[in-house]
A and B are shown apart, each in its own frame.
Chain A
Amino acid sequence: MRWIAQYHPPPMNSAIRVRELRKTYPGRTPVEAVRGLDLDVAAGACFGLLGPNGAGKTTTIEILEGLLDATSGEVEVLGLRWDRDATALRERIGVTLQETKFTDKLSVLETLELFRAFFPRGTAARDAIDMVGLGEKSASHVVTLSGGQRQRLAVACALVGQPDLLFLDEPTTGLDPQSRRQLWDVVRDLRQQGRTVLLTTHYMDEAEKLCDQIAIVDQGRVIAAGSPAELIRSLGGDHVVEFAFASNGSRADSRGDEAALAQLRALPAVRSARAEGDGYHLTVAEPHVALPAILDRSRALGTTLTRLSTRHASLEDVFVSLTGRHLRDE
């Protein structure tokens, strides 16, 4: 497609550099949304801020977009700073906010032409529309678009200025599975062109599938960073085994009993163990070694297994091992 050839990433190494970022919202009980956050986003990366709701992701991204002032800390975007270079920066970034409602009675093309007019350089409005797959809808009024189409329109509006850095804040929240996958395709295209993308999400599968680099954010800080593979490797094993003993067997290892967990951790190829629900959650390096050992353990206890499953470890497991909470716990 034509627009792919049009984008030439500028020569730079670091797209975003953040040190000790803090943001406190004043009030009777001040809210510390961001508490000393560090971030390094390399040029050309698709970088994900992954964290639960309220972790400070949106506050962080809006400070990077120049929409909020930081309480303290250093922020450099594309080698520039908001207090000195605001106009130059706005010409080089593209932004989608959470849930912008564009004007209902404006067509897709008219909306894009509006945004295009603000940028001294950029792609043609129609090219931006094609890029997000809304070509057939370009004459339709915004009010007739589905949620996923509106979100793609928002991405097109962010692309029309040919940005060197694209911010996507929760791009797929509230979308149905098909719309999510369509949007993922758009982001993958952007990544292939070598654009730098920073997105926030609280969906671990989204971060895992789209991002080269991830920072896991919790309570206003980055608690882990790296590629999805690196983060999962940090668990010590790529596999997760989940099982439960029949409750009518020997209760020598009642749930949560530290001694029982220690015995499970001592099994071959098991890297970590914790009680979860009515059973156990193990991180395992080699399932073919660990599984026979678990069955032996069951026999030794004189009980049977009521369930057993294995799967690849996910970022969710990383988050739980770091915080003891699930990403989607509200």
Chain B
Amino acid sequence: MSEASGFLELYKLRVREFVREPAILFWVFGFPILLAIGLGMAFREKPIELVSVGVVTSASSDAVESALRAHPGFRVEELAAEDAARELRLGKVALVVGAPPGPGAELEYRYDATNPEGVLARARVDDALQRAAGRTDPRAFREVLVTEPGSRYVDFLIPGLLGMNILSGGMYGIGFALVEMRSRKLLKRLAATPMKRSHFLLATIASRMTVALVEVGLMLGFGKLFFDMEFNGGFLAATALCLLAAASFSGMGLLVATRTKKIEVVSGLINLVMLPMFVVSGVFFSSERFPDAVQPIVRALPLTALNDALRAVLLEGEDLSAQLVRIGILVAWGAISFVVALKLFRWN
């Protein structure tokens, strides 16, 4: 057998272990997408909803009703006087229009002036009815809407979720898997063969980077398809950053897995490393909300470096060359973790 065949078989082992375990596939690929869908919906910029308006039935109520129905912003109900009062009280309609018979007769707007919806309804209903009655606006205007892709919460969120995913994939995918292999004595069994131990570690990292590649494509593809995100040409740069981060986080995963053979211990260590970064490293909200005094620490964390770099290349269209400090932080965390882990690693 050639030198490389050991590496290749070990790489196949890790990839097979991964793709043949539906639960792992879900947590790595499905869960972050579900999280993005959930959070994206919860925090989406809502268009102003339809205003519900009641019109009291009368001889001339049809004209009022058709004037309002011609306008897309209203949901119009024709109501008997007593029903109209009840629905207004219950908040089912924001405003009730009373239209006494006779051309030019005074309209009645009945609403709660302390309720913003009522005030909004008052302005919009009056505007619509006055125009229908022939009012013209003395000044021309145009509207510019400011919900552009790139400035929404979901644009902020997707790179953060991607970074979080790369971190947890490295920590769990490496740390958890190695401890599990140690607990079933497979590491010890492998150590009794002429297997090159460097091949084992390289194959572990390579398989992790392969999975990370799929994660990037899935997460960003999802953002583009479902949330119309624009990546300003930053897709390749983001992929490169995620591959580097996957290797770096593999080192950290290796470090937490150097000694123990207890799944509980490594789970605790992984959470100890990851949870603080999920909070402070700008996954769900900007890390700049933390006080200036702790900013140097927050920025030195590898997940902060990854998230900030991803947002810079994806949202602001910056070059990788502008991210050298953050890349350096990722490399340093990975390199130090690897060196220490290799010194401490136990095969049995």
Known pairs A100-B185, A117-B9; A87 contacts B20 (CB<8 A): no
Instruction: State A122–B194 Cα separation when bound (angstroms).
Output: 12
Shortest B35–chain A CB gap in Å is: 27
**A90 surroundings in chain B (CB, below 8 A):** 192-194
Looking at the complex, which of A102-110, A184-192, A213-221 is the stretch in contact with chain B? A102-110
Instruction: State A220–B139 Cα separation when bound (angstroms).
Output: 103
The answer to whether A105 and B16 have CB atoms under 8 Å apart is yes
Interface residues of chain B: helix, strand, loop or mixed (majority)? helix
The answer to whether B186 and A115 have CB atoms under 8 Å apart is no
**Does A212 have its Cβ within 8 Å of any Cβ on chain B?**
no
**B195 surroundings in chain A (CB, below 8 A):** 118
B: contact size bracket: 20 to 34
Query: Size of chain A's interface in residues, with CB distance under 8 A?
Result: 30
Most-contacted residue by chain B among A66, A68, A119, A161 (CB, 10 A): A119
**Does A177 have its Cβ within 8 Å of any Cβ on chain B?**
no
| Closest A residue to B199 using CB positions | A118
Instruction: State A157–B189 Cα separation when bound (angstroms).
Output: 10
Q: Residue A97 contacts which of B5, B17, B188 (CB distance < 8 angstroms)? A: B188
**B348 surroundings in chain A (CB, below 8 A):** 67-68
Instruction: State A233–B190 Cα separation when bound (angstroms).
Output: 42
Binary interface profile of A, 203-240, with partner B (CB < 8 Å = 1, else 0)? Answer: 00000000000000000000000000000000000000
**A117 surroundings in chain B (CB, below 8 A):** 1, 5-6, 8-10
**Does B21 have its Cβ within 8 Å of any Cβ on chain A?**
yes
Shortest B295–chain A CB gap in Å is: 45
The answer to whether A105 and B17 have CB atoms under 8 Å apart is yes
**Does A120 have its Cβ within 8 Å of any Cβ on chain B?**
yes
Chain A residues numbered 90-131 whose CB sits less than 8 Å from any CB in chain B? 90-91, 93, 95, 97-103, 105-106, 110, 113-120, 122
Interface residues of chain A: helix, strand, loop or mixed (majority)? loop
Instruction: State A102–B13 Cα separation when bound (angstroms).
Output: 11
Shortest B282–chain A CB gap in Å is: 36
Chain A residues numbered 59-73 whose CB sits less than 8 Å from any CB in chain B? 65-68
**A113 surroundings in chain B (CB, below 8 A):** 9
**A98 surroundings in chain B (CB, below 8 A):** 185
**Does B184 have its Cβ within 8 Å of any Cβ on chain A?**
yes
**Does B269 have its Cβ within 8 Å of any Cβ on chain A?**
no
The answer to whether A105 and B20 have CB atoms under 8 Å apart is yes
**B191 surroundings in chain A (CB, below 8 A):** 67
Shortest B125–chain A CB gap in Å is: 65
Q: Residue A116 contacts which of B1, B12, B21, B188 (CB distance < 8 angstroms)? A: B1
Instruction: State A20–B193 Cα separation when bound (angstroms).
Output: 27
**A118 surroundings in chain B (CB, below 8 A):** 1, 6, 9, 190, 193-195
Q: Residue B21 contacts which of A87, A101, A105, A114 (CB distance < 8 angstroms)? A: A105
Binary interface profile of B, 174-188, with partner A (CB < 8 Å = 1, else 0)? Answer: 000000000011101
Known pairs A67-B348, A120-B1; A101 contacts B185 (CB<8 A): yes
The answer to whether B21 and A115 have CB atoms under 8 Å apart is no
Shortest A216–chain B CB gap in Å is: 26
Shortest A215–chain B CB gap in Å is: 22
Chain B residues numbered 144-203 whose CB sits less than 8 Å from any CB in chain A? 184-186, 188-195
Shortest B195–chain A CB gap in Å is: 4
Shortest A9–chain B CB gap in Å is: 20
The answer to whether B13 and A87 have CB atoms under 8 Å apart is no
Instruction: State A110–B17 Cα separation when bound (angstroms).
Output: 12
Shortest A140–chain B CB gap in Å is: 13
Most-contacted residue by chain A among B20, B186, B193 (CB, 10 A): B193
**A87 surroundings in chain B (CB, below 8 A):** 194
| Closest B residue to A111 using CB positions | B13
Instruction: State A217–B189 Cα separation when bound (angstroms).
Output: 24
Known pairs A65-B192, A87-B194; A100 contacts B184 (CB<8 A): yes
Known pairs A114-B10, A118-B6; A97 contacts B189 (CB<8 A): yes
Binary interface profile of B, 234-257, with partner A (CB < 8 Å = 1, else 0)? Answer: 000000000000000000000000
The answer to whether B193 and A110 have CB atoms under 8 Å apart is no
| Closest A residue to B7 using CB positions | A117
A sample of 12 inter-chain contacts (CB < 8 A) reads A67-B188, A67-B192, A90-B194, A93-B192, A100-B185, A105-B17, A110-B16, A116-B1, A118-B1, A120-B194, A122-B1, A157-B189
Binding site for A on B (CB under 8 A): 1, 5-6, 8-10, 12-13, 16-17, 20-21, 184-186, 188-195, 348
Instruction: Contacts A91-B194, A100-B189, A115-B193 known; list 11 others, CB within 8 Å.
Output: A90-B192, A93-B192, A95-B193, A97-B185, A105-B17, A105-B21, A110-B16, A114-B12, A118-B1, A118-B6, A120-B1
